[in-house]
Structure 1
Amino acid sequence: MQSISCISKLLETAEFSLNIYFHVEVPVPTPKKDELLLKLEATSLNPLDWKIQKGVMRPFAPRKFPHIPGTDVAGEVVEVGPGVKSFKAGDKVVAFLTIAGGSGLAEFAVCKEKLTVARPAEVSAAEAAGLPIAGVTAYQVLTQSAGIKLDGSGRQVNILITAASGGVGHYAVQLAKLGNTHVTATCGARNIELVKSLGADEVLDYKTPEGAALKSPSGRKYDFAIHCAIGGIPWSTFEPNLSEKGKVFDLSPNASSMATFALKKITFSKKQLMPVFANVKSENLDHLVKLVKEGKLKTVIDSKHSLSKAEDAWAKSIDGHATGKIIVEPF
């Protein structure tokens, strides 16, 4: 039998909705065509997980109830379904499970071959599990949205990264510094030295007047701002700090930021706010795993929790002050 933690069962009436979490035993899933069955070693949590709980992704996710959360996993292949060619039993891998299906907070999970990549011995399960959503989001916003070349070529640009000690932010700082960039970062006072150690050139305490105003200590204007924080900073704060054609990439767009996006578009403003929605791709994930293996990227682990205490990890994620990634291990 499979031991699964934190199943969310949404009960609805006309007046309210209620989420209940409990631990259950269910049958080990069977891989279908082009799927793998994994014995999980680590699962990382993302804000997306509790946003699904709060109904933000409805009616698209969850696909059905009860729902087992968790999309970013690392583990060992124990069985392959028909048509699988790239993996065999015993292989160590990292995978992204579908947002609608989840299933990462468990001892076993089924994943798609096309969303799975090999994990070398030099990369631990916990390090790898942090990469799919957070790492790929940072990678895509830098390389695709901002056009940063991670081989260090290209013109130098000034980048602002907010919430730089968080899940996406701590990867974004490291990846940005692989390119020809000057990075200004914001975070809480307790994480300033950590963010500096990740490569940031300037670090601001977001609670100070200078940090709240997002002003570069060296007086630089930002070509790109990667807004990793969940809300809280209006366009009027970003705008005076941007270069002539500066862009803000908002990773958690809300109604206000979408309105600003539309306004800047229709008025042909040189300064733009762009909503960004990442799409996890195996080639991006594989690149990140290789960078970890080479020592060019690391996963900062905030805390590790056993599957039996997954609700503690969940509460810590909702609190929103984790440093790096929160990891759940099934033992």
Structure 2
Amino acid sequence: MAGKLMHAVWYEGYGAAAALKHAEVPVPSPKKNEVLLKVEATSLNPVDWKIQKGLLRPLFPRKFPHIPATDLAGEVVEVGPGVKNFSIGDKVVALLSHFSGGGLAEFAVAQGSLAVKRPPEVSAAEGAGLPVAGLTALQALTKSAGIKLDGSGKTANILITAASGGVGHYAVQLAKLGNTHVTATCGVRNIDLVKSLGADEILDYKTPDGVALKSPSGRKYDAVIHCATGIPWSTFEPNLSERGKVIDITPGPSSIMTCALKKLTFSKKQIVPLLLIPKGENLEYLVGLVKDGKLKTVVDSKHPLDKAEDAWSKSIDGHATGKIIVEP
């Protein structure tokens, strides 16, 4: 593929959705332990546009121009030195680094350690939705909340906020694989969907009980998978069990301050900021669940690569149900 050009979408600085530009750029070459993928589907995450807006500077991106997006499904077309798990023609799901990005393009280079084979039962769009959102939901439930997804743990009451969003819709399904009672918040238009994903109780976030996060059956929450924003600790605290914890997937300064304060005062109730630590075996586990029909990706919308700015704007709007997919 050396010397060939591909269609890609990039931005050359921090700014609004209009700053996305279409370009013809060289197809990248895989280095040691990397594979080159022909992209079949890419999914967007809020962190993609937050990076573009400069909210994570100076860490991300590493340099401009930057091709955003990290979650994709594709076909291996070239294998770099040292790669033993993949052959040309393999279908895979991969997670790229936020430093380098590369997902909004016809071809992308992925680390072999963060790519997993995708069986025929898992479509490209279903697979592309999984990496950041699915791994975040999995880590929040299993590592932070201590839920055993084989159902062997003791019963736990879980609250999932923004349960119809990217992380939330996976969290509901994964939580129900464990021994849990799930209360979920969402907008009225998504109540039936969230119920179909397995939620036991649903709160319309605009009603008084929804604003207060009160369980309809009076339960106290052992863990909250907090996928929304703008909810203060004072709303969570009265709804938590004695040792309840709030796992915040998008922690801001106030969340981190509250976390420190709770630790300093030896509070039994805690807020736990989540930093995703992606692992190939966890991605493989999620792909296996989709293959077995135990987990599904809800697709909000599909957009062609030449209209990627429409997908970008929809993600910024913040009301997507499930995952937004871009297809070359």
Aligning the two structures, in what range does the TM-score lie when normalised by the shorter sequence?
A: over 0.9
- Distance in 1, matches of 2:164 and 2:318, equals 11
The answer to whether 1:122 aligns with 2:125 is no
1:133-153 deviations in Å (ceiling 9; x for gaps): 000000011011111111111
The Cα of 1:17 is off from its aligned counterpart by 9.5
Q: Please say which of residues 1-10 and 121-130 is displaced more in the overlay.
A: 1-10
Contact 1:19–1:53, Cα closer than 8 Å, also in 2? no
The Cα of 1:18 is off from its aligned counterpart by 10
Which residue of 288, 291, 294 maps to 1:290? 288
Q: Counterpart of 2:240?
A: 242
Q: Counterpart of 1:92?
A: 91
5+ residue gaps, structure 2, are none
- Distance in 2, matches of 1:234 and 1:200, equals 23
- Distance in 2, matches of 1:250 and 1:165, equals 16
The answer to whether 1:60 aligns with 2:63 is no
SS in 2 for 1:186: strand
- Distance in 1, matches of 2:18 and 2:320, equals 23
Contact 2:201–2:215, Cα closer than 8 Å, also in 1? yes
How many equivalent residue pairs?
325
Contact 2:16–2:53, Cα closer than 8 Å, also in 1? no
The Cα of 1:3 is off from its aligned counterpart by 3.3
Residue correspondence of structure 1 range 304-315 to structure 2 within 5 A? 304-315=302-313
Q: Counterpart of 2:9?
A: 6
**Percent identity over paired residues:** 73
1:8-29 deviations in Å (ceiling 9; x for gaps): 1117xxxx99972211111111
Contact 1:9–1:19, Cα closer than 8 Å, also in 2? no
1:215-245 deviations in Å (ceiling 9; x for gaps): 000000000011001x210000000000011
Contact 2:17–2:309, Cα closer than 8 Å, also in 1? no
- Distance in 1, matches of 2:43 and 2:183, equals 27
- Distance in 1, matches of 2:324 and 2:303, equals 8
Q: Please say which of residues 291-300 and 17-26 is displaced more in the overlay.
A: 17-26
5+ residue gaps, structure 1, are none
With over 3 angstroms needed to count, the CA separation of the structure-2 counterparts of 1:280 and 1:4, relative to structure 1, is farther
- Distance in 1, matches of 2:46 and 2:7, equals 20
Tell me how large the CA RMSD over aligned residues is: 1.3
Runs (4+) of structure 1 moved beyond 6 Å? Answer: 16-19
Q: Counterpart of 1:163?
A: 162
Residue correspondence of structure 1 range 259-298 to structure 2 within 5 A? 259-298=257-296
With over 3 angstroms needed to count, the CA separation of the structure-2 counterparts of 1:2 and 1:70, relative to structure 1, is farther
The Cα of 1:54 is off from its aligned counterpart by 1.0
